[in-house]
Amino acid sequence: MPTRAEKFAGLSVAIVTPFRDGKIDYARLREQVEFQARAGVKCLCPVGTTGESPTLSHEEHERVIAETIDAAAGRVLVMPGTGSNSTAEAVRLTKYAAKAGADAALVVGPYYNRPTQQGIYEHFKAIAESVEIPICVYNIPTRTGRNIEPETIVRLADLPGIAMVKEATGSMDQASQILAATDLTVLSGDDSMTLPLLAIGGRGVISVVANLVPADMKALIDAFDAGDLAKARELHGRLFTLCRDLLGLASNPIPIKAAMAMLGRDTGDVRLPLVPLEPALADRLHRVLRDYGLPA
């Protein structure tokens, strides 16, 4: 059965924010958008976890949204991160994204202040009712310190503005409960969990590894949708080690930025408090890229 936001089914890419000498490199940002548009991805997600949103100023955050939408030029959907642990700030950012022409907003659960489930519900309700673009609930409790319980997401599904879930809990039980009780479009928030989530009714992924190999992740989803499970499993097996190490060697986006530099697509440094990948881990990442067949 079709889900609520089928237009976002498939491959979305959580793109990095390039820095140069401490400032955002907007020319390189536009190059990243062009790379993904030519690869035929469905949607771009700037200023999320991978885009280092916690260290962007409000002005920078807004300009990255605007530059991405302008560079995409309607060729791909754009769903920027607009979440905050302040409901008022999340509403403001989401309104900005909508006015700038975003197709949807990716809103992470409130972090650090650890609201109750009722507080989480009211937070997302306020955001969803403030704009007309669809909202994707981003549930990543390892970063926020609070799971958005499936019962809360089921309640949120009663709101017309809530259309998607970026599922990054790692729990197939939680995902299954949401899929069984709602028509929300569920997208994987973990690259290595893409195939398992598709198997229970998920509709795609918001990917980090696709910063490097969008064609391969797209091929996995396409193979599954075409019913070629053997091909999908083959691609899952091939992608697994790359996905694991890009998200496991250090906090995202440290490894993905290191990998892009190794492949000649340098996006600059990470911003403090993140620091570059240490040499021993960089050597391991080199080997992983070479073993995958990438010219690192």
Helices marked H in the chain — which ranges? 26-39, 58-72, 87-100, 117-128, 141-144, 150-156, 172-181, 194-199, 214-225, 229-248, 254-262, 279-292
Q: Residue 95 catalytic?
A: no
3-state secondary structure 157-182: CCCCCEEEEEECCCCHHHHHHHHHHC
Q: Of the residues 138, 218, 257, 292, which is catalytic?
A: 138
Q: Of the residues 125, 166, 218, 257, which is catalytic?
A: 166
Q: Residue 138 catalytic?
A: yes
In terms of C-beta distances under 8 Å and separation of at least 24 residues, what long-range contacts does 290-295 make, across chains too?
Answer: 291/241, 292/213, 292/238, 292/241, 292/242, 294/212, 294/213, 294/263, 295/263
Residue 190's alpha-carbon distances to 32, 113, 138, in angstroms, are 21, 24, 12
The per-residue DSSP string of 113-172 comes to S---HHHHHHHHHHHHTT-SS-EEEEE-HHHHSS---HHHHHHHTTSTTEEEEEE-S--H
| Active centre residues (catalytic) | 138, 166
